Amino acid sequence: MTYRAPVKDMLFDMQHLANIEQVAQLPGFEDAGFDTAQAVLEECAKFSEGVLSPLNWEGDKNPSSWKNGVVTATPGFKEAYKQFAEGGWQGLQHPQDFGGQGLPKTIGSACGEMLNSANMSFALCPLLSDGAIEALLTAGSDDLKAIYLENLVSGKWTGTMNLTEPQAGSDLAAVRTRAEPQPDGTYKVFGTKIYITWGEHDVAENIIHLVLARVVGAPEGVKGISLFVVPKFMVNKDGSLGARNDVHCVSIEHKMGIKASPTAVLQYGDHGGGVGYLVGQENRGLEYMFIMMNAARFGVGVQGIAIAERAYQKAVQFAKDRVQSRPVDGSIAASAPIIYHPDVKRMLMTMRAYTEGCRAMAISSAAAYDASHHHPDAEVRKQNLAFYEFMVPLIKGYSTEMSLEVTSLGVQVHGGMGFIEETGAAQYYRDAKILTIYEGTTAIQANDLVGRKTARDGGQTAKGIAAQIEVTEAELAQSGSAAASVVLKHLTAARLAFIDVVNFVAGNTKASPNAVFSGSVPYLMLAGNLMAGWQMARSLLVAESQIASGSDDVAFMQAKIITAQFYAEHLLCKVPGMRGSIVDGAASVTALALESF
């Protein structure tokens, strides 16, 4: 089945939920209105559908391979990457000063979704480069920027993030990779890094590793970690590539999914030490790495939406083609395509509602990011940043957990054929699983939501968002339509449940941490469900007003209304029950004695 980018749905979200014309009034984005968004998305759709999508199944069958330290990508990937770089796609959201196009994240997130729907293994490479670019833009010296940024932004070189070590997964305080200062101001880096996405490959001429390491004599724990640039090949003064640096790929992992994306074990310093360059100041590495991680966490949330969309499209196509059994209502006398069966429709609607809800949440949050960086008013920047930062763990956590449910439903719609690899549905299920794990597991996102985003400000940001949801409720009440009334009922109940949970979290995190953190992931899922449901409610209001004002696409708008109502009745309705398990159910999580497990 060929992938078709959902450009129309993305443009609907951009125009009506993210208000792209308002984004285009921000300094630096004057040329980035709706017409630009449409042109960019249509071009990205062509590239994603025509070049990347056909390689997706190939990458699953013929993964990247390692031999004697050399990693060879899946056949076709190198040529596709060349087209990707030449098309300027890597620089889409990056500054024009370094050769980028300087477009808003609102447009960039939609393009990211298409690339990942078409071929997630491929799209991981630019995602990691984006993170490296962000870190250098924020904390790199003028020298480092001059040497590395233009080639990273152009896609000529690729970037990586090197955090994890065999003994240091989520606990970065345990990082042991060491950096020894040299008389010339460089550092020699020694250590092993694991799970390095696209850490070695043959699709670009150089790889720029951003590496967390501890300078000799630095404080213990997270306070003593620094960030270094360690290039695969040294860069000469004239910009040409010099000698191979002392960083080598000793193996790549054999994985459940994303098989074409080489996940490398990198060894630094087996031959005298890898030459590294300090980013920013010593002992502030974790702070800088968080910049990369926040960019990547949003990107991984978008990957969840992307893989869900791909699984949904495949399931719809199968359901229309697969003939099996007579419809229960007798509307067709003979066996019919399974899409006539109510339960198949329920599964397809669940897939559709989740995907559209999370897409709307991501695109509207991207607009807040753009305002937080470009709005001339400092107070408006601050409010938008608080909103965006609250949303990041939800976009990452909820969208990726939802992608597991959606891709699993995709297999279920296919029945026995879904369990057969040749069908292709299973690949999306396998690829989706990593999304809930890398760039911080769902529990790590939930810890962030509880600690930094809720308890720290006493729940004020969360309650501010709840107040915005109330405004939408008032608009639903004003509409008075049957669909708006249904959505209003569930949205109000979900918001009230959310406020109860926010008060519980803000009031008990210090005094009863186990009680709060035992419900931290349910809190994240509750909040994500509400935020996506809120955007679906907004979509319904837009669709109603579009129909009333004579929209020329009534079928699309009616589908929006039905999907929003389905979201409310089948997904948002779960929120009050989740509230009970979080606020009242902590004791049974922790009560069982350890020896009873």
Torsion angles phi and psi, residue 513, rounded to 5? -60, -40
Q: Which of 488, 467, 489, 297 is closest to 398 using CA atoms? A: 297
Dist. CA 548–CA 515, nearest whole Å: 49
> What does the alpha-carbon distance between residue 262 and residue 128 come to, in Å, rounded to a whole number?
12
What lies within 8 Å, CB to CB, of 366 at 6+ separation is 18, 104, 105, 106, 108, 109, 298
Q: What are the two backbone dihedrals, phi and then psi, of residue 345, each rounded to the nearest 5 degrees? A: -60, -40
For residues 274 and 370, the answer to whether their CB atoms sit within 8 Å is no
- Residues annotated as catalytic are 439
Q: How many helices (H) and strands (E) does the chain have?
A: 21, 12
Q: What is the pTM of this model?
A: 0.98
Instruction: Give the 3-state DSSP-derived string for 58-108, with helices as H, strands as E and coil as C.
Output: HHHHCCCEEECCEEECCCCHHHHHHHHHHCCCCCCCCCHHHCCCCCCHHHH
Instruction: Work out the number of other CB atoms within 10 angstroms of the CB of residue 142.
Output: 7
Q: How many CB atoms lie within 10 A of CB 27?
A: 8
495: Cβ contacts below 8 Å, ≥ 6 apart: 466, 469, 470, 473, 530
Q: How many residues does the chain have?
A: 597
Enumerate the domain spans of the chain.
7-64+74-139, 155-283, 289-588
Closest C-alpha to 457, from 376, 362, 382, 378: 382
Taking the C-alpha atoms of residue 220 and residue 239, their distance in angstroms, rounded to an integer, is 37
Burial of 547 (0-12, 13-18, 19+ CB in 10 A): middle
pLDDT at 1: 66
Distance CA 336, CA 325 (A): 6
Whether the Cβ atoms of residue 285 and residue 273 lie closer than 8 Å to each other: no
Euclidean distance between CA atoms 583 and 590, whole angstroms: 14
Q: Which CATH number fits domain 155-283: 2.60.40.10, 2.40.110.20, 2.120.10.30, 3.40.109.10?
A: 2.40.110.20
Which pLDDT belongs to residue 593? 95
As given in the structure block, the two tokens for residue 40 are: 């960019």
Write down the pLDDT at residue 417. 97
Sorted by sequence, the CB contacts under 8 Å of residue 416 that are 6+ apart come out as none
**Main-chain dihedrals φ then ψ at residue 121, nearest 5 degrees:** -60, -40
C-alpha 206/C-alpha 6 separation (Å) is: 34
pLDDT at 290: 85
Pick from 326, 327, 347, 346: which is nearest to 418 by CA?
347
Assess contact for 165 and 176: CB atoms under 8 A: yes
Rounded to 10 deg, the angle between the 34-47 and 105-118 helix axes is 20
Q: What is the DSSP letter of 337?
A: B
| DSSP tag of 149 | I
- Residues 6 or more apart in contact with residue 164 via CB below 8 angstroms: 193, 194, 195, 196
CA distance 362 to 535: 10
pLDDT, one tens digit for every residue, the chain (597 residues): 689 999 999 999 999 999 999 999 999 999 999 999 999 999 999 999 999 999 999 999 999 999 999 999 999 999 999 999 999 999 999 999 999 999 999 999 999 999 999 999 999 999 999 999 999 999 999 999 999 999 999 999 999 999 999 999 888 889 999 999 999 999 999 999 999 999 999 999 999 999 999 999 999 999 999 999 999 999 999 999 999 999 999 999 999 999 999 999 999 999 999 999 999 999 999 999 888 888 899 999 999 999 999 999 999 999 999 999 999 999 999 999 999 999 999 999 999 999 999 999 999 999 999 999 999 999 999 999 999 999 999 999 999 999 999 999 999 999 999 999 999 999 999 999 999 999 999 999 999 999 999 999 999 999 999 999 999 999 999 999 999 999 999 999 999 999 999 999 999 999 999 999 999 999 999 999 999 999 999 999 999 999 999 999 999 999 999 999 999 999 999 999 999 999 999 999 999 999 999
Residue written as token pair 């803000």? 506
pLDDT attached to residue 295: 87
Instruction: Give φ, ψ of 76 to 5 degrees.
Output: 100, -20
Instruction: Place domain 7-64+74-139 in its CATH homologous superfamily.
Output: Acyl-CoA dehydrogenase/oxidase, N-terminal domain (1.10.540.10)
Residues facing 193 on adjacent strands = 266
In the three-class reduction of DSSP (H, G, I as helix; E, B as strand; rest coil), residue 354 is classed as helix
pLDDT, tens only, 167-222: 998 888 899 999 999 999 999 999 999 999 999 999 999 999 999 999 999 999 99
| Residue 490: both structure tokens together | 């569930």
**Could you identify the residue written with the tokens 């050399």?**
70
Residue 148 in tokens: 């590395």
> CB–CB of 86/78 below 8 Å?
no
Phi, psi at 199, each rounded to 5°: -75, -20
With tokens 């090949």, the residue in question is 233
Give the pairing type, strands 157-162 and 206-215: parallel
- Residue 467, CA distances (Å) to 212, 460, 463 in order: 40, 10, 6
Tell me which residue of 60, 49, 31 sits closest to 117, measured CA to CA.
49
SS3 state at 571: coil
Identify the architecture of domain 289-588 in CATH.
Up-down Bundle (1.20)
Would you say the C-alpha torsion 189, 192, 197, 202 has a positive or negative sign? Answer: positive
Q: What are the two backbone dihedrals, phi and then psi, of residue 63, each rounded to the nearest 5 degrees?
A: -65, 170
**Paired tokens of 181:** 């200062």
Question: What per-residue confidence (pLDDT) applies to 504?
Answer: 98
Q: How far is CA 114 from CA 49, 109, 589, in A?
A: 8, 9, 40
